[in-house]
Structure 1
Amino acid sequence: TGRAYHASNLPPGDLPASKTQMALRSKTHKGEGYNELRFEDAKGSEELALHAQRDMNTVVLNNRETRVMNDHTESIGHNQMLSVRNDRHKEVTGNEVSAINGLRQITVEKDSLLNVKNNIQIHSQAGGIEIATAGGSITIDNAGNISIQGANITINGKQVNVN
């Protein structure tokens, strides 16, 4: 099926600027907006663009694989939810940096394991640090006071200094 463009049925883009583009565009019924699938074929600027005026739903009945050979950027204007019904594996060969402006909470139903081959640093700028189990705790408050609570406390060392 093709399209015949004329004065009352104009192409999706302005000519001649969009001469290297092919687009399939629908217009919102009784409103402003559109959905569009657009191909740009200008050498060095090749692009596949998809525009959803409102919601976009994708259903894949088997596997889905995405390979990005350079950078990947996502920007989410509100919330993001991720649900994985089995295992999740993540590998980063460089650095990983997270910046969180609110609360960060992790709940683990079974064991948690952290293996670090070099140093670990934990800094609390304004509050304290607490390590707790069912039978004891170590607390460092923001004034520098250290509290160790437990049924038995053992300190071993070649030299132990206590002021």
Structure 2
Amino acid sequence: NAEQTVPYDLPENATQSGMKSRSSKGGTPANFNEIRMEDKKGSEQVYIHAERNQDVVVEVDESHSVGHDRNKRIGHNETVTIGANRLRVVRNNDTLLVGGAKSDSAATRYTIEAGDSIRLVCGDSVIELTADGAINLTCGSFNLFSSGSSKIQTQGKLDINQGSDKGTSPGQQGVRTTIHNAVESTFADKPGAGQ
């Protein structure tokens, strides 16, 4: 009707329907809440815009199923609290980039498994464990300290200062500026309104 017109341009947006409410006194056309449905074949979409906060309360269970890609971007903090267990399964690769410090704490046992190798790199220091039973430590210098009795036991020969093998190279891993730049490049494009 004349007082409550369709909030979308017609006829180009004739396949869109929904609700769009302007913010109260002092709000501009850019301040609104909206639920919009696009029914154009091949471009179907449900769009939700919250001008400030959105709160969802589910009394029992909640399920999400995404048939293709899912992207999530958070401009500030995220807090996740789980009352029981958590299981995450990734079929292929999983990558985590942290621009500052990262801490993991387990009250009982902490297990890391890898089928081929585990590699710990910090600058020029490398510790590598391989599936064939080898443990390689490569560094500029090392110190071993023990406050109690200690033992080195081998069923074969123990060589010290034997040969000139330079050990495992850190390559391009473990470089602070490289990690920092990788994180910052992810945030190079600031999140937009996304309509």
Aligned to 1:29: 24
Find 2:64's aligned residue among 60, 63, 66.
66
Instruction: Give the distance between the partners of 1:93 and 1:40, measured in 2 at CA.
Output: 33
Aligned to 2:15: 20
Gaps of 5+ in 1: 130-139
Instruction: Give the distance between the partners of 1:116 and 1:59, measured in 2 at CA.
Output: 39
Aligned to 1:144: 141
TM-score normalised over the length of structure 1 = 0.82
Q: Which has the higher contact order (CA 8 A, sep 6+)?
A: 2
Does structure 1 retain, via aligned residues, the 8 Å contact 2:39–2:45? Answer: yes
- After TM superposition, give the deviation of residue 141 of structure 1 in Å: 10
Is the deviation greater in 142-151 or in 90-99?
A: 142-151
* Partner-residue secondary structure (3-state), 2:144: strand
Aligned to 1:102: 100
Identity value in percent: 25
- After TM superposition, give the deviation of residue 144 of structure 1 in Å: 2.6
* Partner-residue secondary structure (3-state), 2:46: strand
Aligned to 1:90: 88
Gaps of 5+ in 2: 128-136, 162-195
Within-5 A mapping of 1:126-145: 143-145=140-142
TM-score normalised over the length of structure 2 = 0.70
2:142 is aligned with what amino acid? N
- After TM superposition, give the deviation of residue 109 of structure 1 in Å: 1.1
* Partner-residue secondary structure (3-state), 2:47: strand
Root mean square deviation of aligned Cα: 2.1
2:103 is aligned with what amino acid? Q
Q: Deviation per CA, 1:124-146: give whole Å up to 9, x if none.
A: 016898xxxxxxxxxx8963324
Task: Give the structure with the higher percent helix.
Answer: 2
- After TM superposition, give the deviation of residue 11 of structure 1 in Å: 1.1
